[in-house]
Amino acid sequence: MRAAVIQFPGSNCDRDMAVALDKVSGNNKQTQMIWHKESGLPHGLDIIAIPGGFSFGDYLRCGAIAARSPIMNAVVDFAKKGGYVLGVCNGFQVLTESGLLPGTLMRNSDLKFICKNIKLRVETTSSHFTSAYTNGEIINVPIAHHDGNYNADQHTLDILNNDDRIAFRYINNPNGSMNDIAGILSENRRVLGMMPHPERLNDPLLGGIDGNRLFESMATTLVSA
Amino acid sequence: MKVRVHITLKPGVLDPQGAAVRRSLDSLGFGGIEKVRQGKVIELDLKETDVLKATAQVEKMCEKLLANTVIENYSVEIL
């Protein structure tokens, strides 16, 4: 699997993401780091990850300015051609702001920044991001965000529910997200956005490995030619 | 030309910040507030001198960046 991580000013989970991707990518396939001012992507990528952090200081709206940076035109093109894109935390916000995923992430309902381990239910294993989990499995993953309150109109929520596009739900909704949504898939199921941080829980030294299977899911199915 | 953009949450979109402001006002003794909605004001100074062109230009900015039209409405005011 050939992976790349996009870096914006204020990204702070970019290296964690690269470590998690490297772990499953195979030999000599080191994750490439791509600065937001680049306008093109390297050839032959299997997946692009948009990491967590506070891109552009969360100015205007979380992810809004990053979503309009030069590299995102290339990322949107990549996704539209069927490329795989993973956005975690701020990366999820960038994906909704760029229109690759529907809805938006608003301020947490209690207005607090929440940083803790939470429980998620795997709602679908029918994606290249979640195939290594079992349906309905409950996993532990950390969250660390101020704006993770997923909002969308009823029509969008109906589509997400009916098309099995909700990847993860919170067991105890921490932030007010509609329908307890923690992560969603695009229509072609190749773009995943999620607020919790699987890359922060992929080694026993970090306190758990429940995040690892997300990366293993990708690696087993996204094998480079 | 100075232009002011008002960005407000669409009706029906939950506004936890507005709700917190309302509770705080309430605790300060300002009773009888039924609802508070919080928004943004953005002021721009443009070289453009034609009102119609400036309005069209700023509306485009709102659509592309300044507002998230999934949850926000905007209005453009020429000052």
Domains held by chain B: number: 1
- Interchain CB distance below 8 Å, B16 and A109: yes
pTM for the structure as a whole: 0.92
CB A167 within 8 A of CB A64: no
pLDDT of residue A224: 55
Of B13, B20, B68, which is closest to A111 when you measure between CB atoms?
B20
pLDDT of residue A28: 74
Q: What is the CATH number of the domain that holds A51?
A: 3.40.50.880
Closest CA to A49 of A102, A3, A9, A90: A3
Along the 225 residues of chain A, how does pLDDT read in single tens digits?
899 999 999 999 999 999 999 999 887 789 999 999 999 999 999 999 999 999 999 999 999 999 999 999 999 999 999 999 999 999 999 999 999 999 999 999 999 999 999 999 999 999 999 999 999 999 999 999 999 999 999 999 999 999 999 999 999 999 999 999 999 999 999 999 999 999 999 889 888 899 999 999 999 887 654
**In the block, which residue shows the tokens 């704006």?**
A147
- Cα→Cα distances A41→A44, A88, A145, A223, Å: 9, 20, 28, 19
- Interchain CB distance below 8 Å, B14 and A110: no
Q: How many CA atoms lie within 13 A of A104 on its CB side?
A: 20
Q: Which of A13, A36, A62, A89 is catalytic?
A: A89
Shortest Cα–Cα distance, A75 to chain B (Å): 17
Q: What is the CATH number of the domain that holds B31?
A: 3.30.1280.10
Closest CA to A51 of A163, A157, A176, A194: A194
Shortest Cα–Cα distance, A106 to chain B (Å): 9
Shortest Cα–Cα distance, A32 to chain B (Å): 28
Domains held by chain A: number: 1
Average pLDDT, chain B: 94
ipTM above 0.90, yes or no: no
- Domain ranges, residue A144: 3-221
**Alpha carbon distance A39, A61 (integer Å):** 23
pLDDT of residue A223: 67
Residue of B nearest to A69 (CA): B65
Q: Model confidence over B17-42: pLDDT tens digits?
A: 899 899 999 999 998 999 999 999 99
Residue of B nearest to A65 (CA): B65
- Domain ranges, residue B13: 2-78
Going by pLDDT thresholds of 50, 70 and 90, the confidence category of residue B14 is confident
CA A144 and chain centroid, separation: 13
Q: Establish whether A199 is a catalytic residue.
A: yes
